A and B are shown apart, each in its own frame.
Chain A
Amino acid sequence: MLRGKNSSLLRRIFLKCAAIILLVAAFWLVFLRPTRILVVNATLAQQADVALNNDCRRIRLRFEDADQVAGENGTLRRTDAVVIFSRGLYLDDAQVARLEKAGDRGLTIFTNTLNNQHVDVQCNLTEEQRQTLLEYFRNPSRHNYRNGLRYLRHIATPLRVGDRTCEPPVPLLTDMYYHREYGQYFPDHEALTAYLREKGLYHEDGPAVLFISGLNFPMEGNRAHVDTLISRLTDAGFNVYPLTAAGEKRQQMIRALHPAAVIYLPMGRLGDDDFIHWLHTENIPLFNPFPLIQPHSEWIDPLQPVSSGTLTARVVVPEIDGGIGNFCIATQNESPDGFYLYTPEKERIDAFLAFFTRTMALRAMPNRDKRVAIGYFKSPGKDALLASGMEVIPSLYRFLLRLRREGYNVSGLPDSEAAFGRLIHQEGSVMGSYAPGAQAEFLRHAHPVWLSRDRYEQWARETLVPEKYQEVVERYGHAPGHLLVRGDSLAVACLQFGNILLFPQPRPALGDDEFRLVHGAGVAPPHSYLAPYLYLKKGFRADVLIHFGTHGNLEFTPGKNVGQSQADWSDVLIGNLPHFYYYTTGNVGEGIIAKRRTHATLITYLTPPYVESGMRQRYSSLLDAIHRALAAGGADVSLGLRIKRQAVQLGLHRDLELDSTLTVPFTTEELEQLDNFAEEIADEKVTGAYYTLGQPYSERDLVTTTLAICADPLAYEMARQDRDAGRITTVQLQDLSYLQHNYLPAARRQITALLQHPPKDTAALAPALRRALACRNGLEAASRNELDAMVRALNGGTVFPAPGGDPVLNPNVLPTGRNMYSINAEATPNSQAWEDGKRLAEETLQQYLAQHGNYPHKVSYTFWAGEFIATEGATLAQAFWMLGVEPLRDRQGRVVDLRLVPGEELGRPRINVLVQVSGQLRDIAGSRLRLLTDAVKLAAEAPEAGGWPNYVASGTQAQEKTLLEKGLSPARARELSTMRVFGPLNSGYSTGMLGFIESSGSWDDEKEIADGFLNNMGAAYGDDANWATFEPGLLSAALQETDVVIQPRQSNTWGPMSLDHVYEFTGGLSLAVRQVTGKEPTAFFADYRNRYNRRLQGAREAVAVETRATILNPVFIQERMKGGEGSAQMFGELFRNVFGWNATRPSVLDPQLFDELYDTYILDQHGLGIHEYLNRVNPAAFQAMTAVMLESARKGYWKASPEQLQTTAALHAATTEAHGAACTEFVCGNAKLERFIAGQLPESSRRSYDAAMKAVRNVAASDASEVVLKSDRLSDPSQKPELLQHAVWVGAVLAILLFILLLYVLRRKNHTV
């Protein structure tokens, strides 16, 4: 009984206790628990600001990404309120629904949104509360963050006890000046000036520098880098005016202050186009240093790129305003409290300050005292000075003359351009390590600057961080190295005229057998490369550096894409010198890299003029006959046979792979094909002799170039008007051949007449014709503008910003002499590019289907920066559409997500893709490569639909299988199975194969080229986890099933024959595919050169068009022969590219091309006097041409007759004897070729040829072999296993076991007995 009572008592006590605990818990939960606020999508800086300004103990903050909250596995539990920062946030419908569902459960959700932002989720808030919260969070400051959180607590958890006070929001102070001290605000610059005077911070003669750091900087705490910069600028003698203002008011305040310079830190543009024009007109330079939202450790890693968001906001957009000096001045690092705060990078702030000060100092310094270093580019040997489309020596000479007129000290400049040219070749040469004889000759006759080892090492220590110098020593040994060395001293080839120093940029690497890059290994330049840059800074004490022409190699030393540190060579060697770079407007893709990686201000120069190719006259009778035959419907057989005879005679049937049976005429379809092909050759835009800086186009060139730029648009406009009037159909409008026949001649006539007799009043002209006049004026003004712009820049002035690219594609690049900018990669592919890309992708599939009867499994693209910028992502769009994925945009037009196009809608298989990128593209559009990888992942998971296979899925599995077979773990193989974007190793820029292919004596089999390509281009650029990852065999696994390769082409200034990078990338890719799959892929060019007709063209056809319109066209040759050594150099380059194609993809070439080259150049069948011309202006190019032909014969690419060989060899030997061996790599670096050439010569010539070659080689040939390459030491000999020891162990174990067994058996026997 008692036990029962006790039990009941205990139960009651237990229940009471439980009830009390429950009540206490409930009370705590309802009234006492701190309010938990979740902050979503805040930047690290915002997180720090919000957290550090929260002083309420009853508020607990948590920060998460949107995916963690709204993603499929996201959770919003354990939260009382949510604050979403919507800037840069994209949520899909499902994610928004998830948030709203949480709101339905009672969660308070507030989105801090602006009008143009995508996400706006508000739950359980009245309109008044929402507006109040907006006031708090839109005006970020210490006060508002502190009180905004308290206010939100009050709304979300009204019953919770604790400090419930909150002050009302304070609107952010705008349109005011401020200074370092918190709370010091000034309505205008006069008030701030008074304050600075009062504080003793005003410099009476100091220039005023407007400093714009951001809207909320005056009020927030995370501003250490801003304060540091203000202090340092003040200490340097500037009067700093920190401003916070936006929009029109900001522009007004800047105009009122009229500062000497503007330093602009915020994201976005400084002002509209008119304001930027005013800024540059007033000669107010704009500087754009930026804080990086990455920790210090990531920043100093050269392989870690600056994130795409920062790149766009801090670099791309300021470039549009003509900003310069994009130094990274702060990084974001974790504080002891766990929050990320900006940390000033003191060394970078010093560097920026020095750059800023030196640039500003140019304004006050007299020209006669300015010391200007000018670097030019030249390949080793007697080759011409190089610059894309520019005759360098006359350009440089004209530029120096202009400097002299401007008062610069250019004493000693020769009186004639010819003498100047001779001096440059004599004193400013570049040497290859393969020609020690030539080196010795140079050192005997030239007058280089000699640097002792001690001096050189001292300068290196003062300039480089120790690790960087150690890289050089590890790769090339101790100073002075082996090139241009005498005793302990190192020669710097250069010429000095007064205060002007001219120097050739040396070769960035030595050693000819190191084409295979080693992943992760440093690629330090040799001592001979560092020496001139150290000398110009420390010895010559240059005030400014100019690189003259497109392009050098410093900007392409591997490393960070922008905002470099001292771990990047391109930054170290330029340092803080004001740097200007003459760059062709036609190559914006590479120009942007130079601009960003060497703090350069680009000054564009014109492309060579476009000239008549003369091919229309040559083909006129053929074209007439074809048109008549087509009009007759093929009924006139004799006419058909005549056309065929003519086509066969011209060799056109070979290019189109048509039959040559002269008794059977072409079919109508073949005639149309021939017509289009001949029309294209006739209308091919070819460039004439290279451009000379400061020398305007001739009147004829002005007309022909204006026609090249404006005739197509006018013809299209005329046709469009006819289409709108119902006179032609849309199909005809889109038919290029139809436009060429029916509208182009009229358009050309109209423009020509206009240019010859321009009206005084242009107002009545049609817009297209007005544009033609403007274009002509732009071309005319360009040559003057280019020199004026450089002179102004050297005076510390600004250079107007401009887009870049081929003038034909973008006439807005005119006039040149401006600072090129890029595009916002985040908005690509834009809508036009998307439509073009879709159409071209479908065209690719249709053409492949027609040729092969089935769809391709995989299409491999080449992405280049120039094409990407010019088309704003058309090739990217092609790749997306092949995968069956389309881009989704936010309200600002940025492509932020992807949508899978349903299989039924696609109506075809999903085609797998692979993309090889140049380093330039990777640097400017890294985010697009990540997006492409996302697209591959999306497509790989798509189910098969509509009966169409998914080649992306099957290809992904095949790639995974191959990787598994290669020995990767299943997880790693899975991870890498979706990698489709590949590029150069070690954040390099090219395949690294050009030199190797041209050093053809060092390889015997093209397989070696393919292996090298697969290695050098094997770095994956897919996602953050695998950025720049190199996995042996990954690229070859990804290349499986490739059926098609596509190369973009967006400029009329180059083609597959005239640009070596085309065979380097597309030829190399084709060769690699052939090696992997055993078959050669179909090759196309995505031709973006005509804005109104972007199309696909077969590679063989594209090569044939350029070949016939240029290299085999006597009119073109004659045009080029009007130029100097630069124009002549191009012939040698064309020949080398023919060789390159033969080595990588010979099928694009006409098998008879070498015979035709032989007739044109060796026999000079057109009587152009080409031998005399080449021997006179550039014998090195002539030697290169003959050497290429002979090397091609040696390699079996040219099936030359003995007579052809002997004639070519005799010509080669004669020019070598007359001018000495040019010692370009092709001529001097190939012993097998030398022997082959000697074998073709009669005895007498052979002796003199041998003597000439020996003269350049016969000095201490062991020099190069002493160079110790890092790669040589990478493979240590493996240890042999100690077999004997293992055998003893195994034997011993076996013996023991047998002994135990024997004992046991014996024991059992005994037991049984």
Chain B
Amino acid sequence: MTFLLALIVLLSLLSFLLKNSFYPHSWAGVAAFCLALAVWLAIPWLTRLPAATVASWTTSPDRMLDGAVCIVLEVALMAAFCFSRPAGRLRLLTFYPGLLAFPAICWAWLQLLISRPGIHFGRFAWIAALVTMLVAFGGSRLIRRLVPEEQARLEGLFLINLFLLLLSVAATGAITF
């Protein structure tokens, strides 16, 4: 289950980076800043979040179902973006950066927090926010540079989201059954 969850987190983040790669620099910067700000604000809350509670979510069918619904909605939006972008329709979806990245990156930071006893929480929040911003901005720019063809990125985004959907279904199913 942990492996599945890690995979979901990774794909969510990739999806975010891919989605942001369609933005100009300034928008990508704003999106990265917003994510970093959210992370910075969320770290104090994360430090008070018992690992057992997080672990219990992954074994709770209710919680996993909630998560699956969120993923399905995100995937639906991303899929819609993938199909509408070439036709130039549903432009509003362009501005949606992908919200799943936030819980995903929070989960990732929480795992790091848990594995690093003794770390200074305040300093950690700043570093986490900075790293988030750099990765979010730099990652999307790097993808744009490495894969300049928009169609290819769209296909990648679609495939990743499709995979994300399957994984979430598998994870929910594993808990439920």
User: Which residues of chain A have a CB within 8 Å of any CB of chain B?
Assistant: 953, 956-958, 960-961, 964-974, 977, 1281, 1283, 1286-1287, 1289-1290, 1293-1294, 1297, 1300, 1304
Chain A residues near B83 (CB-CB < 8 A): 1304
A943 CB to nearest B CB, Å: 13
B172 at the interface (CB under 8 A from A): yes
Given contacts A968-B52, A977-B117, contact A1286 B176 (CB under 8 A): yes
Interface contact A973-B117, CB-CB below 8 Å: yes
Chain B residues near A1287 (CB-CB < 8 A): 173, 176-177
Bound complex: CA of A964 vs CA of B113, how far in Å?
9
Interface contact B118-A971, CB-CB below 8 Å: no
Given contacts A1290-B172, A1297-B76, contact A967 B65 (CB under 8 A): no
Chain A residues near B110 (CB-CB < 8 A): 970
Chain A residues near B47 (CB-CB < 8 A): 969-971, 974
Chain A binding site: helix, strand, loop or mixed by DSSP? helix
- Residue of A958, A968, A972, A1286 near B65 (CB, 8 A) is A1286
Per the 8 Å Cβ criterion, residues 58-95 of B in contact with A are: 60-62, 65, 68-69, 72, 75-76, 83
Chain A residues near B114 (CB-CB < 8 A): 964, 970
B172 CB to nearest A CB, Å: 5
Chain A residues near B50 (CB-CB < 8 A): 967-969, 972
Chain B residues near A1293 (CB-CB < 8 A): 68-69, 72
Smallest CB gap from A956: residue in B: B118
Chain B residues near A1300 (CB-CB < 8 A): 76
Chain A residues near B55 (CB-CB < 8 A): 967
Smallest CB gap from B169: residue in A: A1294
Interface contact B48-A972, CB-CB below 8 Å: yes
A371 CB to nearest B CB, Å: 58
Chain A residues near B4 (CB-CB < 8 A): none
A1294 CB to nearest B CB, Å: 6
Interface contact A970-B65, CB-CB below 8 Å: no
- Residue of B46, B76, B118, B169 near A960 (CB, 8 A) is B118
Chain A residues near B117 (CB-CB < 8 A): 957-958, 960-961, 964, 973-974, 977
Given contacts A966-B52, A1286-B61, contact A974 B121 (CB under 8 A): yes
A856 CB to nearest B CB, Å: 22
Question: What would 29 A/B residue contacts be, using CB atoms closer than 8 Å?
Answer: A953-B118, A964-B114, A964-B117, A966-B52, A967-B51, A967-B53, A967-B55, A969-B51, A969-B53, A970-B46, A970-B47, A970-B49, A970-B51, A970-B110, A971-B48, A972-B48, A972-B50, A974-B121, A1283-B61, A1283-B177, A1286-B62, A1286-B176, A1290-B65, A1290-B68, A1290-B172, A1290-B173, A1290-B176, A1294-B169, A1297-B75
B165 at the interface (CB under 8 A from A): yes
Chain B residues near A1281 (CB-CB < 8 A): 60-62
- Residue of A956, A957, A964, A1290 near B51 (CB, 8 A) is A964
Smallest CB gap from A967: residue in B: B52
Q: How big is the B interface, by class?
A: 20 to 34
A1152 CB to nearest B CB, Å: 47
B158 CB to nearest A CB, Å: 11
Q: Which 5 A-B pairs have the closest CB atoms?
A: A967-B52, A960-B117, A971-B47, A961-B117, A969-B50
How would residues 103 to 122 of chain B score, 1 for a CB under 8 Å from any chain A CB and 0 otherwise? 00000001001110110010
Chain B residues near A953 (CB-CB < 8 A): 118
Bound complex: CA of A1289 vs CA of B68, how far in Å?
10
- Known contacts A1289-B65, A1293-B69, A1300-B76; 5 further A-B pairs (Cβ under 8 A): A960-B117, A970-B49, A974-B117, A1286-B176, A1287-B176
Chain A residues near B113 (CB-CB < 8 A): 970
Chain B residues near A970 (CB-CB < 8 A): 46-49, 51, 110, 113-114, 121
Given contacts A970-B114, A1286-B62, A1286-B65, contact A1297 B165 (CB under 8 A): yes
Bound complex: CA of A252 vs CA of B7, how far in Å?
86
B76 CB to nearest A CB, Å: 7
Bound complex: CA of A175 vs CA of B117, how far in Å?
61
Chain B residues near A968 (CB-CB < 8 A): 50-52
Most chain B CB within 10 A, of A966, A967, A1281, A1290, is at: A1290
Smallest CB gap from B166: residue in A: A1294
Per the 8 Å Cβ criterion, residues 137-176 of B in contact with A are: 165, 169, 172-173, 176
Smallest CB gap from B61: residue in A: A1286
Chain B residues near A972 (CB-CB < 8 A): 48, 50
Interface contact A957-B61, CB-CB below 8 Å: no
Chain A residues near B72 (CB-CB < 8 A): 1293, 1297
Smallest CB gap from A960: residue in B: B117
Smallest CB gap from A953: residue in B: B118
Interface contact B65-A969, CB-CB below 8 Å: no
Bound complex: CA of A292 vs CA of B42, how far in Å?
42
Bound complex: CA of A964 vs CA of B115, how far in Å?
8
B31 CB to nearest A CB, Å: 26
Bound complex: CA of A953 vs CA of B117, how far in Å?
11
Most chain B CB within 10 A, of A961, A964, A1283, is at: A964
Bound complex: CA of A273 vs CA of B109, how far in Å?
65
Smallest CB gap from B83: residue in A: A1304
Bound complex: CA of A1287 vs CA of B65, how far in Å?
9
Most chain B CB within 10 A, of A974, A1286, A1304, is at: A1286
Bound complex: CA of A1022 vs CA of B76, how far in Å?
52
Smallest CB gap from B59: residue in A: A1281
Interface contact A1290-B169, CB-CB below 8 Å: yes
B175 CB to nearest A CB, Å: 8
Chain A residues near B172 (CB-CB < 8 A): 1286, 1290
A979 CB to nearest B CB, Å: 14
Most chain A CB within 10 A, of B47, B76, B117, is at: B117
B21 CB to nearest A CB, Å: 24
Smallest CB gap from B46: residue in A: A970
Given contacts A1286-B65, A1287-B176, A1290-B65, contact A957 B118 (CB under 8 A): yes
Bound complex: CA of A1290 vs CA of B115, how far in Å?
33
Interface contact A969-B49, CB-CB below 8 Å: yes
Bound complex: CA of A1294 vs CA of B49, how far in Å?
31
How would residues 21 to 54 of chain B score, 1 for a CB under 8 Å from any chain A CB and 0 otherwise? 0000000000000000000000000111111110
B122 CB to nearest A CB, Å: 12
A723 CB to nearest B CB, Å: 50
Chain A residues near B69 (CB-CB < 8 A): 1293
Smallest CB gap from B75: residue in A: A1297
A32 CB to nearest B CB, Å: 42
B97 CB to nearest A CB, Å: 22
Bound complex: CA of A820 vs CA of B99, how far in Å?
70
Smallest CB gap from A1300: residue in B: B76
A39 CB to nearest B CB, Å: 32
Chain B residues near A1283 (CB-CB < 8 A): 61, 176-177
B135 CB to nearest A CB, Å: 22
B4 CB to nearest A CB, Å: 15
Chain A residues near B60 (CB-CB < 8 A): 1281
B98 CB to nearest A CB, Å: 18
Smallest CB gap from B52: residue in A: A967
B176 CB to nearest A CB, Å: 4
A526 CB to nearest B CB, Å: 37
Smallest CB gap from B56: residue in A: A967
Chain A residues near B176 (CB-CB < 8 A): 1283, 1286-1287, 1290
Interface contact A971-B121, CB-CB below 8 Å: yes
Most chain B CB within 10 A, of A957, A970, A973, A1304, is at: A970
Chain A residues near B118 (CB-CB < 8 A): 953, 956-957, 960
Chain A residues near B169 (CB-CB < 8 A): 1290, 1294
Chain B residues near A977 (CB-CB < 8 A): 117
Most chain A CB within 10 A, of B68, B110, B114, B165, is at: B114
Bound complex: CA of A1281 vs CA of B69, how far in Å?
19
